[in-house]
Structure 1
Amino acid sequence: MRITLHDVSKGRGGQALPLTNLEFHTGAVRFALAETEQRPTVLGLIASGRMRPDSGRVTLDGAENAKELRRRVALVDAPDASDPHADITLAGVVGEELMFAGVGATPVHARRWLAQLGFAELASVPIGTVDPAARVRIMCELAVLRDGVEGIVLVAPDRHGGSPDGWWRIAGEFADRGYAMLVIIGGSAAVALERMQEFDAINASGPIEPLVLEESGTTSGADTPDVGPVDPGRPTSGVSSDEPDADEPDADEPALRRAQGPLSDDAPAWVAEPVEASDTDNETPTENGGVR
């Protein structure tokens, strides 16, 4: 699977997102640098097929198919779009995600799932206080429980603090498991990643091609084009689960991310056993948030 953003932008004069070109694909992890409060989420929504750009296009294996892109790419922990409320307990977030994945979703199931993952002691802890690396691990593992997920767009893990080597290593592990990984981060985290002595070892899937959106109108990385000047702006943050080109959030879109993820033959041993799916429509709004 290969996802490519061709000359996409959002907002008048690129205020919400300046002209952007990038690509991420199966079995590799890439980071994209997006500054300001809203641009990381806007880029994540566009890259996962949940927001239509005002210019350019997004292709999946060379074709434009936003509905299929939404089904196959999970949007994880995007601020104001798919992040859980900080006061919700971790077990509450897990329980709701298990429900939408079609597996046992009672409080007992949620605690058991966390225990199998090695985080039993965090079940009653508000997710806003969970260690950044643990949060990324849990959120990504929940994302790939969904049927059909093949890629993850992880948004702004650096906003939770801590050293980037933890969540970056986890992103690399998911790439090694065969997922397409895009991590959207800020400038400080990008500098820290580039300075890590074990950078190449962590990126076992291959070299990183960072996309840097700069006010000067340039990008870093051999394969990324120049980016024009931008002004700060606050975009409409929304998703569309039915129409490929909708900019506003669907009223029926749950607060958790909608995507995705098959349980493959080599899935981790701790993955919960499937149960008979309910009649719940995946498009029913939810309370906790988390991943789309």
Structure 2
Amino acid sequence: MRIALHEVSKGRNGQALPVTSLEFHTGAVRYALAETEQRPTVLGLIASGRMRPDSGRVSIDGASDAKDLRHRVALVDAPDVSDPHPDITLAGVVGEELMFAGAGATPLHARRWLARLGFEELASVPIGNIDPAARVRLLCELAVLRRGVEGIVLVAPDRHGGSPDGWWRIAGEFADRGYAMLVIVGGSAAVALERMHELDAVNASGPVEPLVLASPDPAPEPEPAPEPEPTPEAEPAPEPEPEPEPAPAPEAEPELEAAPEPEHAPAPPSEPAPAPEAEAEAKERGDAR
């Protein structure tokens, strides 16, 4: 199976999705870059036959058949379209998908299915709290349970965090199992361009050339950097070092020697002074007598 998008776009002047062309086929993984909040989902809907582009066309095995495309390609984890509510337990999500696949959908069936994949202990955990890689694994496994599914369009797995190696490896495993895989990711322009070069991804985010050109221009600017070499002249800066001279301040510590003032404390010996008062009292007594 081979799905091809021929210069498709969506929205006035391609605001929802700029002109984009790409292909993905059985047994291989293709990565496409789509930034902004809506473009990843819009691209996913068009690539899986669930949205008609405003320009261009989508074909499956050379024919334009949206119904066949929808039947054979599953749209996985697309924001606001096919992503499960974050508060629903994993067992609840599994039960619902089992029902769509025409299989037993009771809580017991869901737990047994999770046990076969080694995730039984996560049955009662909200899907919003599931590890990003485990989430991708489980949602893709559930998607291929549906009869006739031969391909998967996985939307923005990177939005859940974690290492890209997780969903990258998992997508590759599904491709090895014979599925056509398209993974739509976002990210900063610089990182996205590097990944596009490495993975031969398609850019569905519009023109980014200015960003590329901007990076090389500043590169030569560093050459004048040698000018700062005269900085050695700034060595006079050490002159302010003399400022530490105020260190004499500690000499002021001797002022603490003022403590000797207590030497005047001998004032207590002057206590005998009150003796005269006693004499006065004696005289008063004498007078009284």
- The 3-state SS of whatever aligns with 1:19 is strand
1:58 aligns with 2:55: no
Change (3 A) 1:189 1:81: farther
Task: Please tell me whether the aligned partners of residues 164 and 193 of structure 1 are also in contact (alpha carbons under 8 angstroms).
Answer: no
After TM superposition, give the deviation of residue 187 of structure 1 in Å.
Answer: 2.6
Runs of 4+ aligned residues of structure 1 deviating over 2 Å after TM superposition are: 187-195, 213-218
Aligned partner of 2:113 in structure 1 is 113
Task: Please tell me whether the aligned partners of residues 153 and 183 of structure 2 are also in contact (alpha carbons under 8 angstroms).
Answer: yes
Change (3 A) 1:179 1:189: farther
- The 3-state SS of whatever aligns with 1:187 is coil
Equivalent residue for 2:202, pick from 208, 211, 215: 211
Task: Please tell me whether the aligned partners of residues 17 and 204 of structure 2 are also in contact (alpha carbons under 8 angstroms).
Answer: no
Change (3 A) 1:189 1:85: farther
Matches within 5 A, 1:112-131: 112-131=112-131
Q: Which runs of 5+ in 2 are unaligned?
A: 210-289
Distance 2:193 2:139 in 1: 21
Identity rate, percent: 83
After TM superposition, give the deviation of residue 61 of structure 1 in Å.
Answer: 0.5
After TM superposition, give the deviation of residue 193 of structure 1 in Å.
Answer: 11
Change (3 A) 1:174 1:157: same
After TM superposition, give the deviation of residue 213 of structure 1 in Å.
Answer: 3.1
**In the alignment, residue 157 of structure 1 is paired with which amino acid?**
P
What TM-score comes out, normalization by structure 2 length?
Answer: 0.69
**In the alignment, residue 10 of structure 2 is paired with which amino acid?**
K
Distance 1:71 1:209 in 2: 27
Question: Deviations along 1:125-169, whole A, 9 cap, x unmatched?
Answer: 000010000000000000000000000000000000011000110
Aligned partner of 1:277 in structure 2 is none
- The 3-state SS of whatever aligns with 2:99 is helix
After TM superposition, give the deviation of residue 99 of structure 1 in Å.
Answer: 1.0
Distance 1:190 1:95 in 2: 41
Aligned partner of 2:12 in structure 1 is 12
Aligned partner of 1:150 in structure 2 is 150
After TM superposition, give the deviation of residue 214 of structure 1 in Å.
Answer: 4.4
Distance 2:4 2:84 in 1: 28
1:76 aligns with 2:76: yes
After TM superposition, give the deviation of residue 191 of structure 1 in Å.
Answer: 3.5
Distance 1:217 1:189 in 2: 7
Q: Which moved more, 1:208-217 or 1:69-78?
A: 208-217
Task: Please tell me whether the aligned partners of residues 164 and 189 of structure 1 are also in contact (alpha carbons under 8 angstroms).
Answer: no
Which protein has greater RCO, CA pairs closer than 8 Å, 6+ apart? 1
Change (3 A) 1:84 1:72: same
**In the alignment, residue 92 of structure 2 is paired with which amino acid?**
G
Q: Which runs of 5+ in 1 are unaligned?
A: 196-206, 219-292
Aligned partner of 2:38 in structure 1 is 38
Distance 2:112 2:203 in 1: 41
Distance 2:89 2:192 in 1: 30
- The 3-state SS of whatever aligns with 1:181 is strand
Higher share of residues assigned helix: 2
Distance 1:76 1:23 in 2: 18
What TM-score comes out, normalization by structure 1 length?
Answer: 0.68
After TM superposition, give the deviation of residue 4 of structure 1 in Å.
Answer: 0.2
Which structure has the larger Rg? 2
Task: Please tell me whether the aligned partners of residues 27 and 175 of structure 2 are also in contact (alpha carbons under 8 angstroms).
Answer: yes
Distance 2:102 2:190 in 1: 36
After TM superposition, give the deviation of residue 104 of structure 1 in Å.
Answer: 1.2
Aligned partner of 2:104 in structure 1 is 104
Aligned partner of 1:251 in structure 2 is none
Aligned length: 209
